[in-house]
Amino acid sequence: MVVIVAGYLIGSIPLANLVAGRHSAVDLRTVGDRNPGFWNARETMGRMAAVPVFVGDVAKGLLAAGVGLALADEGVWGLPYIAGGAAMVGHAFPLFARFVGGRSILTFVGTVLVAAPVATLISIGLLLVVFGATRSFAWGARAGMLVLPFVQLAVDGPFRTAATGALMTFIGLRFAMAAMADRKRSGVTAAAP
Protein backbone atom coordinates (compact mmCIF):
# COMPACT_ATOMS: atom_id res chain seq x y z
CA MET A 1 0.00 0.00 0.00
CA VAL A 2 2.88 2.39 0.79
CA VAL A 3 4.29 2.05 -2.73
CA ILE A 4 0.90 2.80 -4.28
CA VAL A 5 0.38 5.97 -2.24
CA ALA A 6 3.98 7.10 -2.71
CA GLY A 7 3.87 6.41 -6.44
CA TYR A 8 0.56 8.20 -6.89
CA LEU A 9 1.74 11.29 -4.99
CA ILE A 10 5.01 11.41 -6.92
CA GLY A 11 3.10 11.14 -10.20
CA SER A 12 0.64 13.82 -9.10
CA ILE A 13 3.24 16.59 -9.13
CA PRO A 14 2.12 18.70 -12.14
CA LEU A 15 5.60 19.44 -13.48
CA ALA A 16 4.54 20.48 -16.96
CA ASN A 17 2.12 23.09 -15.66
CA LEU A 18 4.62 24.33 -13.09
CA VAL A 19 7.24 24.79 -15.82
CA ALA A 20 4.69 26.36 -18.20
CA GLY A 21 3.56 28.75 -15.48
CA ARG A 22 7.13 29.94 -14.96
CA HIS A 23 7.90 30.35 -18.66
CA SER A 24 4.72 31.56 -20.28
CA ALA A 25 1.95 31.73 -17.66
CA VAL A 26 -0.11 29.28 -19.71
CA ASP A 27 -2.05 26.23 -18.55
CA LEU A 28 -1.09 23.37 -20.88
CA ARG A 29 -4.49 21.78 -20.26
CA THR A 30 -6.10 24.60 -22.25
CA VAL A 31 -3.73 25.03 -25.23
CA GLY A 32 -2.39 22.87 -28.05
CA ASP A 33 -3.41 19.25 -27.68
CA ARG A 34 -4.43 19.96 -24.05
CA ASN A 35 -1.99 17.36 -22.77
CA PRO A 36 0.13 18.65 -19.87
CA GLY A 37 3.22 16.79 -21.00
CA PHE A 38 6.47 17.22 -22.88
CA TRP A 39 5.14 17.33 -26.45
CA ASN A 40 2.58 20.02 -25.75
CA ALA A 41 5.08 21.95 -23.62
CA ARG A 42 7.57 21.78 -26.47
CA GLU A 43 5.02 22.97 -29.03
CA THR A 44 3.74 25.72 -26.74
CA MET A 45 6.95 26.99 -25.09
CA GLY A 46 9.78 25.72 -27.28
CA ARG A 47 12.25 22.87 -27.05
CA MET A 48 14.59 24.25 -24.41
CA ALA A 49 11.83 25.40 -22.08
CA ALA A 50 10.28 21.91 -22.28
CA VAL A 51 13.47 20.00 -21.32
CA PRO A 52 12.67 20.19 -17.57
CA VAL A 53 9.26 18.66 -18.32
CA PHE A 54 10.92 15.75 -20.17
CA VAL A 55 13.43 15.15 -17.38
CA GLY A 56 10.86 15.61 -14.62
CA ASP A 57 8.27 13.28 -16.09
CA VAL A 58 10.87 10.53 -16.57
CA ALA A 59 12.10 11.19 -13.02
CA LYS A 60 8.58 10.57 -11.66
CA GLY A 61 8.68 7.01 -12.96
CA LEU A 62 12.30 6.49 -11.90
CA LEU A 63 11.64 7.70 -8.37
CA ALA A 64 8.38 5.81 -7.88
CA ALA A 65 9.75 2.54 -9.29
CA GLY A 66 12.92 3.11 -7.25
CA VAL A 67 10.81 3.31 -4.09
CA GLY A 68 9.16 0.03 -5.10
CA LEU A 69 12.53 -1.56 -5.73
CA ALA A 70 13.90 -0.34 -2.40
CA LEU A 71 10.92 -1.74 -0.48
CA ALA A 72 10.78 -5.08 -2.31
CA ASP A 73 11.96 -8.21 -0.61
CA GLU A 74 14.61 -10.19 -2.45
CA GLY A 75 13.09 -12.03 -5.38
CA VAL A 76 9.97 -9.83 -5.47
CA TRP A 77 10.07 -8.12 -8.85
CA GLY A 78 6.55 -6.63 -9.04
CA LEU A 79 6.78 -3.68 -6.63
CA PRO A 80 8.61 -1.36 -9.07
CA TYR A 81 5.82 -1.99 -11.59
CA ILE A 82 3.13 -1.30 -8.99
CA ALA A 83 4.79 1.89 -7.75
CA GLY A 84 5.55 3.08 -11.29
CA GLY A 85 2.01 2.25 -12.39
CA ALA A 86 0.69 4.30 -9.46
CA ALA A 87 2.90 7.20 -10.60
CA MET A 88 1.47 6.86 -14.10
CA VAL A 89 -2.06 7.05 -12.65
CA GLY A 90 -0.97 10.07 -10.60
CA HIS A 91 0.44 11.73 -13.72
CA ALA A 92 -2.78 11.05 -15.63
CA PHE A 93 -5.13 12.02 -12.79
CA PRO A 94 -3.04 14.29 -10.54
CA LEU A 95 -4.30 15.11 -7.09
CA PHE A 96 -2.55 18.49 -7.27
CA ALA A 97 -4.00 19.55 -10.65
CA ARG A 98 -7.74 18.86 -10.38
CA PHE A 99 -7.25 15.29 -11.67
CA VAL A 100 -6.54 16.50 -15.23
CA GLY A 101 -3.15 15.23 -16.36
CA GLY A 102 -1.12 13.76 -19.17
CA ARG A 103 -0.80 10.45 -20.93
CA SER A 104 2.02 9.07 -18.75
CA ILE A 105 4.43 8.10 -21.54
CA LEU A 106 7.57 9.55 -19.99
CA THR A 107 6.58 8.37 -16.52
CA PHE A 108 6.28 4.90 -18.08
CA VAL A 109 9.79 5.25 -19.50
CA GLY A 110 11.16 6.10 -16.07
CA THR A 111 9.33 3.14 -14.57
CA VAL A 112 10.64 0.58 -17.04
CA LEU A 113 14.17 1.97 -16.75
CA VAL A 114 14.04 0.65 -13.17
CA ALA A 115 11.79 -2.39 -13.66
CA ALA A 116 13.26 -3.67 -16.96
CA PRO A 117 16.55 -1.83 -17.49
CA VAL A 118 18.18 -4.07 -20.12
CA ALA A 119 15.17 -4.24 -22.43
CA THR A 120 14.49 -0.53 -21.98
CA LEU A 121 18.07 0.48 -22.79
CA ILE A 122 18.00 -1.69 -25.93
CA SER A 123 14.73 -0.02 -26.95
CA ILE A 124 16.21 3.43 -26.30
CA GLY A 125 19.17 2.40 -28.46
CA LEU A 126 16.77 1.59 -31.30
CA LEU A 127 15.01 4.90 -30.73
CA LEU A 128 18.34 6.70 -31.18
CA VAL A 129 19.20 4.74 -34.33
CA VAL A 130 15.82 5.50 -35.93
CA PHE A 131 16.07 9.14 -34.83
CA GLY A 132 19.56 9.36 -36.37
CA ALA A 133 18.32 7.87 -39.64
CA THR A 134 15.05 9.81 -39.91
CA ARG A 135 15.68 12.93 -37.77
CA SER A 136 12.23 12.25 -36.33
CA PHE A 137 12.06 11.68 -32.58
CA ALA A 138 8.41 10.65 -32.97
CA TRP A 139 9.33 7.78 -35.31
CA GLY A 140 12.21 6.78 -33.06
CA ALA A 141 9.91 6.71 -30.04
CA ARG A 142 7.36 4.60 -31.91
CA ALA A 143 10.05 2.11 -32.94
CA GLY A 144 11.38 1.91 -29.39
CA MET A 145 7.93 1.36 -27.90
CA LEU A 146 7.04 -1.22 -30.54
CA VAL A 147 10.14 -3.32 -29.97
CA LEU A 148 10.20 -3.07 -26.14
CA PRO A 149 7.85 -5.99 -25.37
CA PHE A 150 9.60 -8.29 -27.84
CA VAL A 151 13.03 -7.49 -26.44
CA GLN A 152 11.73 -7.81 -22.91
CA LEU A 153 10.16 -11.19 -23.64
CA ALA A 154 13.59 -12.45 -24.68
CA VAL A 155 15.43 -10.79 -21.79
CA ASP A 156 13.02 -10.96 -18.84
CA GLY A 157 10.47 -13.61 -19.72
CA PRO A 158 6.67 -13.54 -19.97
CA PHE A 159 5.64 -12.35 -16.50
CA ARG A 160 7.60 -9.10 -16.49
CA THR A 161 6.66 -8.56 -20.13
CA ALA A 162 3.00 -8.90 -19.17
CA ALA A 163 3.49 -6.32 -16.40
CA THR A 164 5.06 -3.94 -18.91
CA GLY A 165 2.16 -4.65 -21.27
CA ALA A 166 -0.33 -3.69 -18.55
CA LEU A 167 1.42 -0.33 -18.15
CA MET A 168 1.47 0.15 -21.93
CA THR A 169 -2.25 -0.62 -22.01
CA PHE A 170 -2.84 2.21 -19.56
CA ILE A 171 -1.08 4.57 -22.01
CA GLY A 172 -3.33 3.29 -24.80
CA LEU A 173 -6.39 3.98 -22.66
CA ARG A 174 -5.14 7.53 -22.01
CA PHE A 175 -4.77 8.11 -25.76
CA ALA A 176 -8.28 6.76 -26.32
CA MET A 177 -9.65 9.05 -23.62
CA ALA A 178 -7.91 12.04 -25.24
CA ALA A 179 -9.29 11.12 -28.67
CA MET A 180 -12.83 10.85 -27.27
CA ALA A 181 -12.46 14.24 -25.55
CA ASP A 182 -11.23 15.77 -28.83
CA ARG A 183 -14.20 14.29 -30.68
CA LYS A 184 -16.56 15.62 -28.08
CA ARG A 185 -15.02 19.11 -28.31
CA SER A 186 -15.12 18.95 -32.12
CA GLY A 187 -18.77 17.89 -32.04
CA VAL A 188 -19.66 20.73 -29.73
CA THR A 189 -17.68 23.17 -31.86
CA ALA A 190 -19.22 21.89 -35.10
CA ALA A 191 -22.73 22.13 -33.66
CA ALA A 192 -22.21 25.70 -32.47
CA PRO A 193 -23.49 28.38 -34.88
Per-residue H/E/C for the chain? CHHHHHHHHHHCCCHHHHHHHHHCCCCCCCCCCCCCCHHHHHHHHCHHHHHHHHHHHHHHHHHHHHHHHHHCCCCCCCHHHHHHHHHHHHHHCCHHHCCCCCCCHHHHHHHHHHHCHHHHHHHHHHHHHHHHHHCCHHHHHHHHHHHHHHHHHHHHCHHHHHHHHHHHHHHHHHHHHHHHHHHHHHHHHHHCC
Residue 46 maps to a domain? yes
| pLDDT number for residue 191 | 47
| Residue 28 belongs to a domain | yes
Total number of domains in the chain:
1
Q: In the prediction, which pLDDT does 107 show?
A: 96
Decide if pLDDT at 169 tops 50.
yes
Residue 16 lies in domain: 2-114
Residue 109 lies in a domain: yes
Note whether residue 79 is domain-resident: yes
What is the maximal distance between C-alpha atoms in the chain? 63
List pLDDT tens digits, range 91-139: 999 998 888 888 899 999 999 999 999 999 999 999 999 999 999 988 9
pTM, two decimal places:
0.88
Q: Which residue has the higher pLDDT, 141 or 20?
A: 141
pLDDT class for 19, splitting at 50, 70, 90?
A: confident
pLDDT > 70: what percent of the chain? 95
Q: What is the pLDDT of residue 29?
A: 79
Q: How far is CA 103 from CA 148, 150, 171, in A?
A: 18, 23, 6
In a domain, 178, yes or no: no
Confidence of residue 74 (pLDDT cuts 50, 70, 90): confident
pLDDT band (50, 70, 90) for residue 192: very low
Chain mean pLDDT for the chain: 89
Q: What is the pLDDT of residue 94?
A: 93
**Is 50 part of any domain?**
yes
In a domain, 75, yes or no: yes
Average pLDDT on 41-69 reads 91
Quick check: is 135 in a domain?
Answer: no
